[in-house]
Amino acid sequence: MRKETMPQTTSKEITILTSSLFDSKKKQFLKDVSLTIDPSTGLITKVAQTPSSLLRHEELPLYTIDLRGLTVLPGLVDAHTHVFLHPYSEVSSLHQMRDESFVERIVRATNHAKAALMAGYTTYRDLGTEGLRDADVALRDTINRGIIPGPRLLVATECIASSGGYEIRQENGLPGVGTSVPRISDAADGVAGVRAAVRRRLGAGADVVKFYADYRKRALRFPQPAWPGARQICCAPSADVFDGQRNPNVLLFTQEEMDEMVAEARREGAPIAAHAQSPRAVVMAAKAGVTTVEHGFVPSEEALRAMKENGTIFVPTLAVLQVSLGDEGQAMNAILAHTKAAFDRGIKLATGGDTGAFAHGENVFELELMARAGIPVPVILQAATLHGWEACGGDLSGRKFGALEEGFAADIIAVKGDPAEDLSALRKVSFVMKDGVVYKDDHNHASRIQ
């Protein structure tokens, strides 16, 4: 077994020495701070300036981890992932959901979880199993039981959509004749119906509820060629990402239905996320009181105003949009400018790349795109840590993480270099601790805790 997959544990209190530590609440790098960890709880019990007796690089006491010379941060949070998906550049989402076996998808997810943890991501908010029903609940539990290494998972099970709203579209779907495809959402309609759907998701073990405020549900009106030799539809409308009518985003729920999903989630003590791409969907979801809006990429002053007024956390998922759109035309530049406008207006940001559409372990791509949008690095780091915890529901998540403070989980990473000067330093993760357990230690920093 490779060294970084063998978690190091002890029953003794651990001291971690740092020379540069990111404070995710103050958005500042602090000097010469020491952390005390209780391995029995996995919590930070003390944060203090390092005693002068330990500042010198001399023989250190037992149960001391020396991370001086590295940059120390809270474990990173990816607030929008799909652990059962792998890059669409390898296999399309259709073929993953329809054709890959249950066993293959579980095995892949096991690899994805390890890759994410080794990249410094100690928490994943996983927003939908994409055809595997409630399997994320069991995967979460295998990680929590120490059977496999991986981030802390907060899962949504299936997402909620209206009838016909979010499903696999196929032309050869005639019952008894055509191909079969898996269910990929929990369909619900009407105020009573959506209330019942939220109850089903939470009863199935979900940590967070996700619903589709809008989606491109009319793909079969002007279908794209989907198999070798398929012909293009004649005279199809424009497929422009912002206002094309070939397969536009359409609302899936009424305001009353969205209001009720949020109200039921709140009654049951759960955060709730809304997939919302069009401005109207963003406005409705924000007014309903969702915890987060996902995507929301169409530039709109009204959408920004609604998120700001309602305290909505914005997860712009820039990485998946970059993967889908590339750098063609002005679309991606407009999306980046819209994200920067959200920051300028004081909207709280969290980082989540829709990871899975691109590779797990490459999650930092989302942070790099935020930097490209012109967002300051300390704000990006806060979005990837403390605001990630808030996107997971904050105290509703059942654990404090995303900050290196007393009472918070000992989710601690260390990287080579200074992210404030070069964000690519986040791709050089040398040390990973989650809940007080060391999972990665490239340079034997934790040699004195065994």
Domain annotation for the chain: domains and CATH numbers: 3-74+405-449 (2.30.40.10), 76-170+180-223+238-397 (3.20.20.140)
pLDDT of residue 31: 97
Q: What is the pTM of this model?
A: 0.96
Q: Are 44 and 28 in contact (CB under 8 A)?
A: no
Report residues of the chain scoring pLDDT below 70.
1-6, 8-10, 56-58, 327-329, 448, 450
pLDDT of residue 173: 86
Task: Indicate the angle between helix axes 301-310 and 279-288, nearest 10 degrees.
Answer: 10
pLDDT of residue 326: 83
pLDDT of residue 450: 62
CA-nearest of 362, 438, 439 to 16 is 438
pLDDT of residue 56: 67
**Residue 182 C-beta-side C-alpha neighbours within 13 Å:** 19
